[in-house]
Amino acid sequence: MSGKVEIEEAVNYTPLQRMRHSAAHVMAEAVQEIFPDARFAIGPAIEDGFYYDFDLPRALTPDDLPDIEQRMRRIIAGNHPFTGERWPREKALEYFQKKDQEYKVELIENLPDAEVGMYQQSKFLDLCRGQHVDNTSEIGPIKLMRVAGAYWRGDEHRPMLQRIYGTAWFTQEELDQYLWRLEEAQKRDHRKLGRELKLFTFSDDVSAGVPLFYPRGEMLRHLMENYVRDTQERYGYQHVWTSHIGKVRLYKTSKHWYTYRENMFPIMKGEQETSEDDAFILKPMNCPHHITLFKSQMHSYRELPIRYAEFATLYRYEKTGTLTGLARVRSLTQDDAHVFMRPDQIQEEFNNAVNLTAEVFSTYGLSDYYVRLSLRDPKKKEDYVGGDEVWDEAESSLRSAVEGRHITYELGIGEAAFYGPKVDFMVRDALGREWQCATVQLDLNQPMNFELEYIGEDGQPHRPVMIHRAVTGSTERFMAMIIEHFAGAFPVWLSPVQAMIIPIADRHQDYAYKVLEQLKAAGIRAEVDIRSERMNAKIRDAQLQKIPYMLVVGDKEAAAEAVSVRLRTNVDLKSIAVKDLIERVTGIARSKSFEL
Partner RNA sequence: GCCGAAGUAGCUCAGUGGUAGAGCAACGGUUUUGUAAACCGUCGGUCGUCAGUUCAAUCCUGACCUUCGGCUCCA
Q: Which of residues 491-550 bind RNA (CB under 7 A)?
A: 504-507, 531-537, 539-540, 543-544, 550
Residue 287 assigned as binding residue: yes
462 catalytic, yes or no? no
Pairing of strands 465-474, 499-503: unpaired
Applying CB under 7 A, does 46 fall inside the site for RNA?
yes
| Residue 47 vs 458, nearer CB to RNA | 47
Identify how many contiguous H helices and E strands the chain contains and give both numbers. Answer: 19, 27
Contacting RNA (CB under 7 A), which of 12, 36, 57, 59? 59
336 catalytic, yes or no? yes
Residues 6+ apart with CB under 8 A from 272: 278
126 catalytic, yes or no? no
Total residues contacting RNA by CB under 7 A comes to 82
CB atoms within 10 A of CB 83: 12
287 catalytic, yes or no? yes
* Residues 458-487: x where in contact with RNA by CB under 7 A, - otherwise, as a string: ------------------------------
509 catalytic, yes or no? no
Give me the phi and psi of 46, to 5 degrees please.
Answer: -130, 175
Applying CB under 7 A, does 426 fall inside the site for RNA?
no
List 190, 468, 469, 477, catalytic entry:
468
CA-only gyration radius of the chain, Å? 29
Contacting RNA (CB under 7 A), which of 1, 5, 36, 47? 47
Query: Scanning residues 333 to 352, which ones bind RNA (CB under 7 A)?
Result: none
Contacting RNA (CB under 7 A), which of 32, 120, 121, 162? 162
**Nearest approach, Cβ of residue 98 and RNA (Å):** 17
On the 0-12 / 13-18 / 19+ scale of CB atoms within 10 A, 128 is buried
Which residues are 341's β-sheet partners?
465
* Segment interacting with RNA (CB under 7 A) among 110-118, 241-249, 390-398, 450-458: 110-118
CB atoms within 10 A of CB 506: 9
List 338, 372, 477, 485, catalytic entry:
338
Alpha-carbon span 357 to 363, nearest angstrom: 10
145 touches 24 (CB < 8 A): no
| Residue 95 vs 301, nearer CB to RNA | 95
Applying CB under 7 A, does 61 fall inside the site for RNA?
yes
Applying CB under 7 A, does 198 fall inside the site for RNA?
no
Which residues are 527's β-sheet partners?
500
Query: Scanning residues 301 to 320, which ones bind RNA (CB under 7 A)?
Result: 319-320
Applying CB under 7 A, does 324 fall inside the site for RNA?
yes
Contacting RNA (CB under 7 A), which of 104, 132, 283, 316? 104
What 3-state DSSP class applies to 112?
Answer: coil
Applying CB under 7 A, does 360 fall inside the site for RNA?
no
Alpha-carbon span 596 to 589, nearest angstrom: 9
Contacting RNA (CB under 7 A), which of 91, 381, 433, 579? 433
| Residue 42 vs 394, nearer CB to RNA | 42
Alpha-carbon span 251 to 295, nearest angstrom: 15
Between vectors from CA 145 to CA 429 and to CA 322, what angle results, nearest 5°? 45
For helices 89-98 and 102-109, angle between their N-to-C axes, nearest 10 degrees: 160
**Nearest approach, Cβ of residue 25 and RNA (Å):** 8
455 touches 461 (CB < 8 A): yes
Alpha-carbon span 504 to 538, nearest angstrom: 9
- Which positions make up the binding site for Zn(2+)? 287, 338, 468
- Which positions make up the binding site? 287, 338, 468
Residues noted as catalytic: 287, 316, 334, 336, 338, 422, 468
